[in-house]
Structure 1
Amino acid sequence: MKPYRTVLFVPAHKASWLDKAAEAGADAVCLDLEDSVPEELKPAGREQVAAGVERMAASHPAMGVFVRVNAIGTPHFGNDLEAAVLPGVTGIFAPKVNSAVDVLRYDTMLDFFEQRAGVSGLEYIIPVETIHGIQNCEEIAAASPRVGAMIGPTAEHADIAKAVGFEWSPEGLESMVHRTKIMLATKAAGAHPLTALWERTRDLDGLREFTTRGRKMGFRGQVVLHPTHVPVVNEVFTPDAEAIDFYRGLLETYREAEKRGDGAVMYGDIHVDKAHADKAEEWLARVDELADLNGGV
């Protein structure tokens, strides 16, 4: 999966809001058929998905487009998945996944709908938002090559708060353990680690602090609820020019030393060896990947 910095939610029955998401510079959008759509409007939401996806694919082809379906076991699941699998969709946002078996259930259905729609290669973003999901996150991450990203969540009022029963704080210490476990499981499977969620739409300073803490933990992107959050989160997850120059210089210095037959060298006040160079090379490769996203670097 591309290293999306921002995945912005848009209620499926209000697909006209996609234009605002695009204007905000979100790397990906997620048309939501689950919690943000009232029960009586879910059929209408499914009908708007196709038009919204087609419009975004034409106007913003670099933007990722996902659809959050209702969970397995709900009466909406099959209809949602059928409506979501169509040309222009990047993948499925798959809620309430409890085990690797759930992922394989998604795979079975998705294989069928992909063949019928003439598409392929759809990926999952999986929010780990249940107790069983947390316990089984390593197996979930490795269950299918379609698992492109997983979310290590914390929120004041969302499903994860209800499931775990923690008392939320802006600092997030109460969710550090499960978020770290999910982040490590995601990276071990070679998937993209996302975090979430900042619910206070007007508190952009708090958002920046929350996002920065997530980046320092090892997350590389975030689910966001409001267009005004997109520029803040994109900036936090975008390496700045000073850091890029630092790692480029480090890598160049090490390679020059390597040519001389030296396995270690000083770079300013820092002792540099192969491990440092490997990190710099990987870090700079991510910069190149980010440059290809909607909005760029």
Structure 2
Amino acid sequence: MVPYRSILFAPAHKPAWVAKALAAGADAIVLDLEDSVPGHLKEQARTAIAESVADVRERDGRVGLFVRPNALDTRLTGADLEAAVVPGLTGVFAPKIGEPADVIRYDALLDHFEHRNGVTGLRYIVPVETVGAIQRAREIALASPRIGAMIGPTAEHADIARAVGYQWTPEGDETLYLRSRVLLACREAGIHPLTALWERLDDLDGLREFARQGRRLGFRGMIAIHPSHVATINEVFSASPDEIAFHEGLVAAYERAAAAGDGAVRYRGLHIDKAHADTARAWLAHVAATPGTPPGAVPSGGRE
């Protein structure tokens, strides 16, 4: 999956909001059929999906486009996916997954609707919203090749806060263990680790620090709750020119040393060896694949 920095929701029954999400510069947009759509408007939201996907694709072929259907236990998921699996869709933001069997149920639905609607290659973003999902994060992450990303839970008032019963703080200590379990599951499965969620709309300084904390932990992108948050999230999860130069220089220094027969070398006051070079290459490859990285900013493409 593309290593999206920012993923922004838009209610599927409000096409104007979808346009605002695109204009905000989000790397990916989730067309929501679940929590942001009242029950009596679910059908209207479904019928708007295909037009929204086509409209966005006319203007932007790059942006990720996902749909969040209603959860499996609502028995609305099939109707949601029947309407939403159309050419131009990137994947499914799959809510309320609690165990690997839920992933297989989604697989069965997508296999059917992809085949019927002429769509291929849809991927999942999986939010961890339940205690069961936290306990089984590793098994869920490995349950299907369609899974491209999982989200470490941090919400102040949403499902996971109710399920676990923590008292939210801006520092996020109360969710560190929860997020860490998801992060390690992502790393083992080789999928994109995302963090969430900053609910305070006007506190951009708090958002920036929270996003920086997530990046320091190892997350590579974040869910955005409002268009005004997108620019800050993109900034935090983008590599700076100085960072790129540092890692490029590290790889080059190690390669020169190795060619001269030395397995270790001093670089900018650091002792580096093959492990450091391999880590730098992996980081550069990630940066090269990240939306928003200017063409040519990582000349080696990670020196694979």
Normalised TM-score (structure 1): 0.97
Equivalent residues in 2 for 1:255-274, closer than 5 Å: 255-274=255-274
Match of 1:193 in 2: 193
Match of 2:209 in 1: 209
1:75 shift after superposition: 3.1
Task: Tell me if structure 2 keeps the 8 A contact 1:7–1:28.
Answer: yes
Task: Tell me if structure 1 keeps the 8 A contact 2:287–2:293.
Answer: no
- String of CA shifts for 1:118-143, please: whole Å, max 9, x gaps: 01110000001101111111110000
Task: Tell me if structure 1 keeps the 8 A contact 2:147–2:191.
Answer: yes
Match of 1:225 in 2: 225
| Alignment gaps of 5+ in structure 1 | none
Task: Tell me if structure 2 keeps the 8 A contact 1:10–1:30.
Answer: yes
Task: Tell me if structure 2 keeps the 8 A contact 1:46–1:83.
Answer: yes
Report the 3-state secondary structure (helix = DSSP H, G, I; strand = E; otherwise coil) of the residue aligned with 2:279.
helix
Task: Tell me if structure 2 keeps the 8 A contact 1:84–1:92.
Answer: no
4+ residue runs over 3 A deviation: none
Report the 3-state secondary structure (helix = DSSP H, G, I; strand = E; otherwise coil) of the residue aligned with 2:193.
strand
Match of 1:108 in 2: 108
Percent of matched pairs sharing the same residue: 56
1:73 shift after superposition: 1.3
Q: Letter of the aligned partner of 2:15 in structure 1?
A: A
Report the 3-state secondary structure (helix = DSSP H, G, I; strand = E; otherwise coil) of the residue aligned with 2:216.
helix
Report the 3-state secondary structure (helix = DSSP H, G, I; strand = E; otherwise coil) of the residue aligned with 1:10.
strand
Rounded to whole Å, the distance in 2 between the matches of 1:268 and 1:210 is: 29
Rounded to whole Å, the distance in 2 between the matches of 1:155 and 1:18 is: 23
Q: Letter of the aligned partner of 1:152 in structure 2?
A: G
Match of 2:19 in 1: 19
Q: Letter of the aligned partner of 1:3 in structure 2?
A: P
Rounded to whole Å, the distance in 2 between the matches of 1:296 and 1:284 is: 11
Task: Tell me if structure 2 keeps the 8 A contact 1:66–1:91.
Answer: yes
Matched, 1:163 2:156: no
1:296 shift after superposition: 3.9
Rounded to whole Å, the distance in 1 between the matches of 2:212 and 2:110 is: 35
Task: Tell me if structure 1 keeps the 8 A contact 2:12–2:18.
Answer: no
1:178 shift after superposition: 1.0
1:87 shift after superposition: 0.4
Report the 3-state secondary structure (helix = DSSP H, G, I; strand = E; otherwise coil) of the residue aligned with 1:193.
strand
Rounded to whole Å, the distance in 1 between the matches of 2:35 and 2:42 is: 10
Equivalent residues in 2 for 1:118-157, closer than 5 Å: 118-157=118-157
Q: Letter of the aligned partner of 1:197 in structure 2?
A: L
| RMSD (CA atoms) | 0.8
Task: Tell me if structure 1 keeps the 8 A contact 2:238–2:293.
Answer: no
Match of 1:244 in 2: 244
1:84 shift after superposition: 1.5
- String of CA shifts for 1:215-257, please: whole Å, max 9, x gaps: 1111100110111100100000001111111111111111011
Query: How many residues matched?
Result: 294
Q: Letter of the aligned partner of 1:79 in structure 2?
A: A
Report the 3-state secondary structure (helix = DSSP H, G, I; strand = E; otherwise coil) of the residue aligned with 1:126.
strand
Normalised TM-score (structure 2): 0.95
Task: Tell me if structure 2 keeps the 8 A contact 1:6–1:26.
Answer: yes
Rounded to whole Å, the distance in 2 between the matches of 1:32 and 1:93 is: 9
1:81 shift after superposition: 1.3
1:148 shift after superposition: 0.4
Report the 3-state secondary structure (helix = DSSP H, G, I; strand = E; otherwise coil) of the residue aligned with 1:13.
coil
Equivalent residues in 2 for 1:167-182, closer than 5 Å: 167-182=167-182
